[in-house]
Amino acid sequence: MTRFKIDTYLREAAFLAQIAHESGEFKFLRELWGPTPAQKRYEKPNAMANTLGNTQVGDGKRFMGRGAIQLTGRSNYRQASKGLGLASDPARDLERNPTLAETPEYAFLVSGWYWDTRHINAAADAKDFRLVTKLINPGMLHHDRRVAYYQRALLVLDQHEPAPAVGPTLFVNGANLTATAKPYLLGGRMYAALKPIATKLSLKILSAAGTTAEVQDSVGLITTLPFVIKNGTGIVAVGDVPGELTWDPNTLTATLTSV
């Protein structure tokens, strides 16, 4: 990230969000191969094969998606090798040794190269996360999931939009929880501490660890919420909590009531 100047909180959040999605939260640094109907298009004589520079039989599988951003196609492997200064070394040349791109040493290096050559930092600087996704996946596949990672990354990096002159207010079942839940705004959504909200809504917190929390209502319905620890406090998006939410943009007041 330092090498490719992914070095501000906006760039870091955008990059981490995209690679978190592309790699299944870092579980997969190689495309899961079927081949699926989409993957069969990587092979000649399909137009997609030409776009990817796959010129030989078997190139589709040979140059499957690898790395944290899923580098795909002979042409991209060749360009990445040249751009990273690997092409002159037979042992490190990615076109000759495509499986190197799925190893930790190279998986993130090729992803940084891809990010840099597509000038994605500029889109991140402009907070244009839709364009960030489009530059990585023109089909905008699973953009909503990428957005969730992006907002979570911004929270963890402890950088968010400047606070409004008048802070947001949160009412839960008629009680003003602004002081205890400490709500604030990010990307047009309100985030606040889970525990005081759950208490006021009579929700039982079954678990709250990692990236999710589970809450159970009075009739036994369990809801899983995206969850982040920030400054020692577990926080959630208020709109994700089970209940009816109303929002007054003029006073920045959210009102959450039990269903």
pTM of the full predicted structure?
0.74
Q: Are 235 and 155 in contact (CB under 8 A)?
A: yes
Residues carrying CATH 1.10.530.10, the chain: 9-156
Q: What is the DSSP letter of 53?
A: T
Per-residue pLDDT of the chain (259 residues; tens, 9 = 90+): 999 999 999 999 999 999 999 999 999 999 999 999 999 999 999 999 999 999 999 999 999 999 999 999 999 999 999 999 999 999 999 999 999 999 999 999 999 999 999 999 999 999 999 999 999 998 899 999 999 899 889 888 876 556 566 789 999 999 999 999 999 888 778 999 999 999 999 999 999 987 899 999 999 999 999 998 888 899 999 999 999 999 998 899 999 999 8
CATH top class, domain 9-156: mainly alpha
Nearest Cα to Cα of residue 70 among 33, 121, 123, 122: 33
Would strands 204-209 and 212-216 be described as parallel, antiparallel, or unpaired? Answer: antiparallel
Count the helix, strand and coil residues of the chain and give each as a percent rounded to the nearest 5. Answer: 40, 20, 40
